[in-house]
Every structure is written in C-alpha cells, then in structure tokens.
A and B are shown apart, each in its own frame.
Chain A
Amino acid sequence: MSIRFENVRKAFGSKVVLEDVGFEVGSGECFFIIGASGVGKSVLIKHLIGLLRPDGGSIYLDGEEVSRLTEKEFFSVRKKCAMVFQNSTLFDSMTCAENVALPLRKHKRLGAKAALKEALERLDTVHMREFANAYPPELGDGMQKRVAIARALTLDPRYVLFDEPTTSLDPVSARRVDQMIRELCDEVGVTSIVVSHDLRSIFGIADRICMLYKGHVRMLGTPEDFQTTDDPVVQQFINGRAEGPMEV
C-alpha cells in the first residue's frame, strides 16, 4: 500500500505551479510536505483525492492510477483517503454531530439516527462529545479543527491528508493535533501526508519530509537529512531566516 506521484504537472492559466513533481509515500508513514506559501503544497495533495486534476503525470494509490478517474469513481478513493482542510470546513448550518454524521450517511448509507449515534462516538474520541449539538461558529478554531478531524476519521480511512493542521491554533492545541497525527500512524497504521509550515510539527513527528520549491521537489529525506544538508535554500527555510537565496 502506498501513494506515488509521478511527474505531476499543474498550471493555473499561464502560472505553472507544479512541474515534474514525483515521490512515494510508504504505508503507515508520517510524511510532511513543506515549502513557502503558494508553492503548491495544498494543490499537490488535492490531486490525490480528485479535488484537482493534473495537467500531466500520474498519481497512484495502492498501485491504482487515480489521476484519470471520474468524479463518481473518486467516491471510493475518498472513502479510504480522507482530508482535514486548512479552514476546518465544517458546515455552519449543521451541528457538530451532523457534520460528523454526513460522511456516514453519504458513504456508508447509514440512516440519520444510526449516523448520529456513531458521530457521537467519533466526537468522544476527540473530546468534543459535549459540543455535539453546538454549531461550528460557536466554537473556537482548535475545537473546530478537532471536529473536522473527527469527521475525516469517521470512515476509518487508511490515508489522511492534513492541510496545515496546526495553523491558527494555540501551541497547546497544535501539539495535541501533532500527537493525534503521530498516534494515527503508530497505533492505527494510518498513512498521513501533512502539509505544514510549523517547524515544531515538522521536526517533532515527521518520518520523512519533502520540500517543494519553485514547482519542483527541492529535497526529500528524513528530518535528520534536512538538518544536516548544505542546501542553502533548505537551511534558510528550516531555520526561518529572512535573509538568504530563497525566492518567495
């Protein structure tokens, strides 16, 4: 079981965002994609679940090419590959429990009552059960993120994509989310791809890291490889220095 990107290319109009991007993610791995804002990290992971389509190249999930599937064929991919979005993306018109129940109703075809019952159990795992009947705007960012994670995990996916999961969270909530991601990999065997800028997350829980720069893979390796590399662009990024060769 693995994820493989091969020579993926994506442009929006005349702006080429990704050019010949390729790497593989192993089963149970906690894989981080890093890079400056606007470099195409979120764009890249959205290709895996069909929210964007590549202009060139191929993407494989469990050995099956998914880059050419239709919207309907992607339904089965989205059952085993969930995504936690940067903005939580809970639906304001639904309660937290209804938000979590939605994938159960659509993917598993559960009835409203059964889906809500299971949603409550899922909310319990992220310590949000007492807020089951609250509407998302009534909750803080960290709480919304936890509900979004519960929703993403309702279908017991084998792969989870996290798009900047700790952005806008306080340090304690951020480390809790890190811990949750690591536990998913270690205890449940979930393969996680995490898009992040958060250096503490990156060097705290990543198994391997891929750095994107100017649409290409600049470096691929373990956190130790990144800390010991001589590449001035990588060093500038991971040390968060304003001065250096990196063009943003």
Chain B
Amino acid sequence: MNVVSATGLAVIDVTRDIRDILRMGARTLRFVVRGRKDRRMIVEQMHQIGNKSVFFITVTMGFIGMILVFQSALQALRIVPDLSLLGATYGEILIRDLGASIGAMMLATRVGAGIAAEIGSMVVTEQVDALRMCSADPVEYLVVPRFLASMVMTFCLLVWACVVAYLSGMVTAYVVFDVNFLTFANFMLVDAGDVIVGLTKCLAYGAAIPIVSAQRGLATFGGSEGVGWATTSAVVSSSLAVIVLQFFISAVGYLVFPG
C-alpha cells in the first residue's frame, strides 16, 4: 500500500468515526427528549462516574495545581521579581481554560474507559443483541443514563477539580514562594466571560465523553481483544474530543468575551 492510499484510508476512517459519533450524539439527544428515563440506572451511573472519580480527580488535580503554580512562578520570576499577580493570573487561566480541560482529560481515561469496556463487553456477550430482541434501543437503555449521569457529575467534578487545583496552587505559592494566601486569592482578573466559558466547557466535556466512549463500545467486534481495542480507542477519542472542544469553545469564547 502506498502513502497516498494509506492516507486516503486513514482520512476515510476518521471521517466515518466522526460521522458515527455525531450520529450517536443526535440519537442520544433524541432519546433524552423523547425516551424513557430510568432513574435507578441514572443514579447508579452517577455513583459510578461521579463518586468513584472524586479521589482520582482530587489527587491528580492537586498535583497538577502544584506543578502549574510552581512552574508559572519560576518563569515569572525570571522576568519580574513580583508574584503579587500570580494568584489572579492563575485563577483566570484555571477557570477559563485549564481546570475543566485537564480535569476532563483525566476523566476521559477513567470514565471513558469504563463506559467503553462495559458496553463493549455487553456487545461481545450478545447482551446488546438481546436488548434489540426486546425492542429496546441500546442507545436509550445504555447510552442515555450514562449521558445524563455524566452531564451532572462531570460538571460537578470539573468544578471541584478547579477548586482543588486552585487550593493546591495556593499552598504551593505560600510554601515555596512565600506568597500570602490573601495575596494569592485575588480574582480581579476573573470576569463573567471567564466563568461562562469555563462552565460551558464543563458541560460540553460532560456530554462528549460518554457519547464518544459509548459509540466506541457499541462498535466493538470480536471477543475480549475487541473490548480492549474499544477501550483504548475510547480513551484516545474522548481525549481528542476534549482537546477539539476546548479549541472551539475557547475560540468562540475569545470572540464573544474578549476579556
């Protein structure tokens, strides 16, 4: 196979994947509006996605917050010997961009992999076929509860991720650079636009991760090897979706709220 045909096949594959994910998103939204909602299943998924991710997201975002502030302060000190605006700048970038996006990348690995593995296993053990035999749409039964649970819990987790990263950054600034807590806790650079953009990202990631991962899970074929591939693919695709969404929401955000 030459380079041209290999590139062509890759483009076709990517296009097909994007089409399938968009279709899955449209079907999910249609069932969210018109379908039945299984409260028990949604609560169970909220526990799986939300409660079980709290420790993971707290630890990872805690360390990331420390690294971000440490590196930012080091770089800033090379230019100006004044860190009084460190907290203000860090707060703005965390709320508008990094908190939600880094947190969502972390969640994509845990939540995305879990959704794809669970649904993929149901595909290879024919449980999804059994659902179809019962006239139950797999999207309505499997994807919608995870989508609704993720919308709520990812949103909450990403807000929590920002809080943790901010606090760990604040402690780092105090311990390493002797920046007073009150000096660091400066939100004068944060405006309504930053908050709106940040919260929009939280919602968008909460919607994208389950849809992309469920689509990968439902496309599983083969046995346990297929489930493994689906899981890997879900993590990669969810992370890509987060980055792409971050780019577009940030771009629109800077046009609407130039800050």
Please tell me if the beta carbons of B126 and A49 are within 8 angstroms of each other in the complex.
no
**Which residues of A are interface residues toward B (Cβ below 8 A)?**
46, 49-51, 71, 75, 78-79, 82-83, 85-87, 89-91, 93, 102-103, 106-107, 151-152
Q: Contacting B129 at CB < 8 Å: which of A82, A85, A106?
A: A85
Most buried by A among B125, B126, B129, B134: B134
Across the interface, name the chain A residue whose C-beta is closest to B130: A89
Q: Contacting B125 at CB < 8 Å: which of A51, A89, A151?
A: A89
Assuming the contacts A93-B41, A93-B44, asked whether A102 and B129 have C-beta atoms less than 8 A apart, the reply is no
The 4 closest A-B pairs by CB, nearest first: A89-B130, A106-B135, A103-B134, A85-B126
Please tell me if the beta carbons of A83 and B41 are within 8 angstroms of each other in the complex.
no
Please tell me if the beta carbons of B129 and A78 are within 8 angstroms of each other in the complex.
no
Instruction: Give complex CA distance A4, B58 in Å.
Output: 60
**B125-159 toward A: CB 8 Å interface, digit per residue (1/0)?**
11101111111100000000000000000000000
Q: With both chains docked as a complex, state the minimum distance between the C-beta of A112 and any C-beta of chain B, in angstroms.
A: 11
Task: Return chain A residues, CB-CB under 8 Å to B135.
Answer: 75, 78-79, 103, 106-107
Q: With both chains docked as a complex, state the minimum distance between the C-beta of B30 and any C-beta of chain A, in angstroms.
A: 14
Please tell me if the beta carbons of B133 and A87 are within 8 angstroms of each other in the complex.
no
Assuming the contacts A93-B41, A93-B44, asked whether A83 and B133 have C-beta atoms less than 8 A apart, the reply is yes
Q: Contacting B134 at CB < 8 Å: which of A71, A86, A93, A102?
A: A102
Please tell me if the beta carbons of B126 and A82 are within 8 angstroms of each other in the complex.
no
Interface size on B, residues (CB 8 A): 13
Please tell me if the beta carbons of B41 and A85 are within 8 angstroms of each other in the complex.
no
Instruction: Give complex CA distance A46, B128 in Å.
Output: 13
What are 29 sample pairs from A and B whose C-beta atoms fall under 8 A apart? A49-B133, A50-B132, A51-B129, A51-B132, A51-B133, A78-B135, A79-B135, A82-B133, A83-B129, A83-B130, A85-B129, A85-B130, A87-B126, A89-B125, A89-B127, A89-B129, A89-B130, A90-B130, A91-B127, A91-B130, A93-B44, A102-B134, A102-B136, A103-B134, A103-B135, A106-B134, A106-B136, A107-B134, A151-B134
**Which residues of B are interface residues toward A (Cβ below 8 A)?**
41, 44, 125-127, 129-136
Task: Return chain A residues, CB-CB under 8 Å to B125.
Answer: 87, 89
Q: With both chains docked as a complex, state the minimum distance between the C-beta of A45 and any C-beta of chain B, in angstroms.
A: 11
Majority-rule SS of B interface residues: helix
Instruction: Give complex CA distance A46, B41 in Å.
Output: 29
Task: Return chain B residues, CB-CB under 8 Å to A90.
Answer: 127, 130
Q: With both chains docked as a complex, state the minimum distance between the C-beta of A135 and any C-beta of chain B, in angstroms.
A: 13
Across the interface, name the chain A residue whose C-beta is closest to B135: A106
Instruction: Give complex CA distance A102, B135 in Å.
Output: 9
Instruction: Give complex CA distance A49, B132 in Å.
Output: 10
Instruction: Give complex CA distance A75, B117 in Å.
Output: 28
Q: With both chains docked as a complex, state the minimum distance between the C-beta of B148 and any C-beta of chain A, in angstroms.
A: 16
Task: Return chain B residues, CB-CB under 8 Å to A93.
Answer: 41, 44
Task: Return chain A residues, CB-CB under 8 Å to B41.
Answer: 93
Instruction: Give complex CA distance A152, B136 in Å.
Output: 14
Task: Return chain B residues, CB-CB under 8 Å to A107.
Answer: 134-135
Q: With both chains docked as a complex, state the minimum distance between the C-beta of B139 and any C-beta of chain A, in angstroms.
A: 11
Task: Return chain A residues, CB-CB under 8 Å to B136.
Answer: 102, 106
Task: Return chain A residues, CB-CB under 8 Å to B133.
Answer: 49, 51, 78, 82-83, 103, 152
Q: With both chains docked as a complex, state the minimum distance between the C-beta of A67 and any C-beta of chain B, in angstroms.
A: 16
